[in-house]
Amino acid sequence: MSDRPTPNSDAMIFLDQVSKRYPGQETAAVSELSMEIKQGEFVVLVGPSGCGKTTTLRMINRLIEPTHGRIFIDGKDVTHADVDDLRRGIGYVIQQIGLLPHLTIADNIALVPRMLGVKKSERRRRAQELLEMVGLDPALYADRYPRQLSGGQQQRVGVARALAADPPVMLMDEPFGAVDPIAREKLQMEFVRLQERIRKTIVMVTHDIDEALRLGDRIAIFGPGSRLAQFDTPLEILSNPADDFVRDFVGSGAPVRRLSLLKVSDVIAATPSDLPSGANAIAVDAGESVHRALELVLGSRAEGIEVSVPGDGSRYLDLQTLLTAAAQPAKVLS
């Protein structure tokens, strides 16, 4: 027992050799998967259907009981803990949203606090606070019923409900899958901003690699046979795919997609230069993505960008240097 691995102190979720095998099936749905997810990290599980990503997600809150292996949440082995207690401490968002149609929006959000015995007035206050947090006016929406809301609005409520008891961990199973494409992108971006504020440990399942690249701090790409093909940052996955499966799965255009993940600050270190006199440069913040910088340059017909570095004056990069720097992953990642 003592030789078995235990999670590091900064790990929020730790899966130790977790397997799921359904009776009567040849191959395991998930086999001997080990994964460590740090506190405050946003991890996206992605892969073709049947690769075990959803099974993995649902084993974390034990909606699916693993056949073998151990699950740790916040350093505690919860493999055999009380499931209802465990789940009340984990936010859960599903594609179908699953708001209870006979309860008002406020009552839906307050479901977990109610189970935890929070007082009614406090629950109400919390629901209003959360509605505001997900961008819905409490005065307008708190007392409505779910079917009076659009799909996008309903999923905002779904997120609010998962956050109601302020759980450290959130599990999301294709949360934006049922939302129409235009609302989806908006919702994704808002969710990224929300996550920057609340810093939950999030595990999300999607089959959409673009969504994974856009949202995840790290991405776990599952291959056929529930193999964990690569578990790394979006930039590393685009720059150094582990194998052909990952390369194929990510698809074409990796170098261009990298541009939106690279920050201007990542590339200026490569090629410092001063602003030549008479050069037509556009000012860009060092925190912007290279993609955005290029957009600004091309849009304004400038020849390069001028980046102000705090305490170090400003740097100039012409278009060519910017592209060359962006095309060299090694420099960026060293």
Partner 1 sequence: MSTAAVQAVTSRSETRRSRTWVLPLVVLALLGALWAYVGSLRLDSIETRSLASDVVLTALWEHVQLVVASTLLTIAIGVPLGVLLTRPGISRAGVVVLAAANASQAVPSIGVLVILAMVFGVGFWMAVVALVLYALLPVLRNTMVGIRQVDPALIDAGRGMGMSPREVLLTIELPLAVPVMLAGIRVALILNVGVATLAAFTNAGGLGSIISSGISLDRTPVLVVGSALTMALALTVDWLAGLAERALRPRGI
- Write out the residues near partner 1 by the rule CB under 8 A: 61, 63, 83-89, 92, 94, 96-104, 111-112, 115, 144-150, 161-162, 171
How near is the Cβ of 163 to partner 1 at its closest, in Å?
11
Residue 147 vs 301, nearer CB to partner 1: 147
The dihedral of CA 179, 100, 98, 80: what is its sign? Answer: positive
| Least distance from partner 1 to the Cβ atom of residue 154, Å | 11
Minimum distance, C-beta of residue 112 to partner 1, in the bound complex (Å): 5
Angle between helices 151-163 and 120-133 (to 10 degrees): 130
CB of 88 to partner 1, least distance (A): 4
Structure tokens of 87? 């789940």
d(CA 183, CA 189): 10
Q: Considering beta carbons, is residue 7 or 146 the nearer one to partner 1? A: 146
Amino acid at 308: S
d(CA 69, CA 2): 15
Contact predicate 37/203, CB 8 Å: yes
Identity of the residue, 85 or 248, whose beta carbon is nearer to partner 1 in the bound complex: 85
Spatial CB neighbours of 316, under 8 Å, sequence gap ≥ 6:
273, 274, 275, 276, 279, 281, 304, 305, 306, 307
Angle value at C-alpha 42, between 186 and 170, nearest 5 degrees = 85
* Shorter beta-carbon distance to partner 1: residue 151 or 329: 151
Q: Residue 96 CB, nearest distance to partner 1 (Å)?
A: 3
